[in-house]
Amino acid sequence: MDFGVIDFYDMDSPAKNYKPDIFKPAKKTCKKRLFNFFIKNKCTENSMFLTNLCIGITVMVMQILPIVTQNWLYVTEPRPINLTNDKGDQLEAPFQYTAGHFKVCRSFVDNVSAEIEPIIKQRDYVEPCQWNPIYTGNDLTDFSFATVGILIRLGVPTLMHIIGAFLCIIAFFFALLGYFKKDSRSVISAIFYVIGGLTVSMSVLQFVCVVDDEMAPRMKPNAAGEPSFFSYRYGYSFMAAALSFLPAQLCIYLQTQMYFQRYPTPGEKSKVIPGLEDLLVQVRKKERYSYRQETGTTIKTSSPKPKEKKCYFNASRRSTRASRDFTAFSIQRDLPLSPPLTAPAGTFHRDKFCY
């Protein structure tokens, strides 16, 4: 073989051991497969139902879990402890309270003074979680003051949150029935999502108002100008309940889109939308008397166009047709279509006449 050329037809040549490099595509990860699924997928009823199913489950998780958790609010509040200083004054220790709709727990903060550090080692001093005094009737003023003041005002927001979450659960099941039965339960599901999402949002707004009303005066500096030891911040349960309104709106859009997609033409929509058929009839009647703006000609139809009477109102009731105050004198020279002064008396009225 000249010039080192490989003869592919010679079985004794090195070509028989030649293995071409075959490009192997990289394996697709779950993230890429998920993105490709949403990119290449069309907006069919099945795809919208699967999307609505995932979002509906997300809405229920974001609304139900905050009800049973205590991570709504973190409050730092100083409370007196069984320890005195050298002068005999009772010391105060900062406690951190974790509050929810039904329970409140407390613990010591991490950064404390050297005088308070020995009492932190006494595990028995840290009391367990307490139920909301609305349901138990216990006096928790020794346990907390500001946090308990917030809890006793959360009766209405808690009830509204439970009602809103229950309505969203009903909406989820109506969505399933509407998809399988292909009927108006899809629209009913969207209505329940609207009411449930707004109810939960109102409960979250009331929770914010209660916390701000209770903590705002306590966080002001004292008379000596020293900063307050009170502070608070919202937790993950609060954020989940507040943000659940957004996926609920997506469920509303998907449910209405799935329902109206089953009736693509206006004639089919008129069978399910009350009053749409009468509106379409009125539109067709107006089209018979419409004008063709491009050519300036009138569309010829079988039904004649009704004649319109031109009426002119008199500005003064006491003026006569021969008076200078009569409207016809002022517009006779400007408008060539104005009626003559010798118009028939039969068409004259006190305030207007027509011709």
CATH of the domain at 167: 1.20.140.150
State yes or no: pLDDT of 224 exceeds 90. Answer: no
**Is residue 11 one of the residues assigned to a domain?**
no
Tell me the pLDDT band of 303, cut-offs 50, 70 and 90. Answer: very low
224 shares its domain with 347 = no
Res 33: pLDDT: 77
**How many domains is the chain partitioned into structurally?**
3
Which two three-digit tokens encode residue 332?
């006779």
| pLDDT at residue 63 tops 90 | yes
Q: Is 294 exposed, middle or buried (0-12, 13-18, 19+ CB in 10 A)?
A: exposed
Q: Is residue 6 part of a domain?
A: no
Q: Tell me, yes or no, whether 326 and 287 share the same domain.
A: no
Q: What is the pLDDT of residue 94?
A: 79
Please answer whether residues 104 and 70 qualify as being in contact, where contact means their C-beta atoms are separated by less than 8 angstroms: yes
- Same domain for 211 and 344, yes or no, is no
Reported as a pLDDT band with limits 50, 70 and 90, residue 313 is: very low
Q: What is the pTM assigned to this prediction?
A: 0.66
Least confident of 87-96, 158-167, 293-302, 324-333: 324-333
Q: Are residues 100 and 229 in the same domain?
A: yes
* Residue 69 covered by a domain: yes
Examine residue 22 and state whether it is found in any structural domain, yes or no.
no
- Note whether residue 354 is domain-resident: yes
Q: What is the pLDDT of residue 111?
A: 60
* Within-domain flag for 8: no
At 119, the pLDDT band (50, 70, 90 cuts) reads: low
Mean of the per-residue pLDDT values of the chain? 75
Report pLDDT for 352.
47
Same domain, 330 and 223: no
Final residue before a domain boundary, out of 262, 288, 323: 262
Q: What's 258's DSSP letter?
A: H
Residues 4-17 pLDDT 10s: 554 545 555 555 55
Residues 228 and 278 in one domain: no
Confidence of residue 264 (pLDDT cuts 50, 70, 90): confident
Q: Please give the average per-residue pLDDT across 338-353, as a whole number.
A: 47
The reply to whether 94 and 219 lie within a common domain is: yes
Helix, strand, or coil here: 102? coil
Most confidently predicted of 158-162, 221-225, 324-328, 331-335: 158-162
* 71, part of any domain: yes
Cross-strand bridge partners of residue 98 = 74, 105
Residue 88's pLDDT is 65
Instruction: Determine the Cα–Cα distance for residues 106 and 39; give it in Å rounded to an integer.
Output: 48
Q: What pLDDT score does 130 carry?
A: 86
Mark whether 125 and 189 lie in a shared domain. yes
Q: Quick one: 318 and 296 in the same domain?
A: no
Residue 307: the pLDDT is 53
Mean pLDDT confidence for 19-38: 65
127: containing domain: 32-262
Q: Is residue 344 part of a domain?
A: yes
Judgement on whether residues 212 and 314 belong to the same structural domain of the protein = no
Sequence-ordered alpha helix ranges (H) in the chain: 30-40, 45-68, 117-120, 133-136, 146-151, 155-181, 185-215, 236-243, 245-261, 266-269, 276-288, 327-331
Specify whether 118 is located in the same domain as 38.
yes
What is d(CA 129, CA 67) in angstroms, rounded to the nearest whole number? 16
106 with 168, same domain: the answer is: yes
Q: What share of the chain is helix, strand, coil (3-state, %, to 5)?
A: 45, 10, 40
- In this structure, of 18-32, 98-112, 186-200, the range with the lowest mean pLDDT score is 18-32
pLDDT 10s digits, 177-215: 999 988 889 999 999 999 999 999 999 999 999 999 998
End-to-end CA gap in the chain: 112
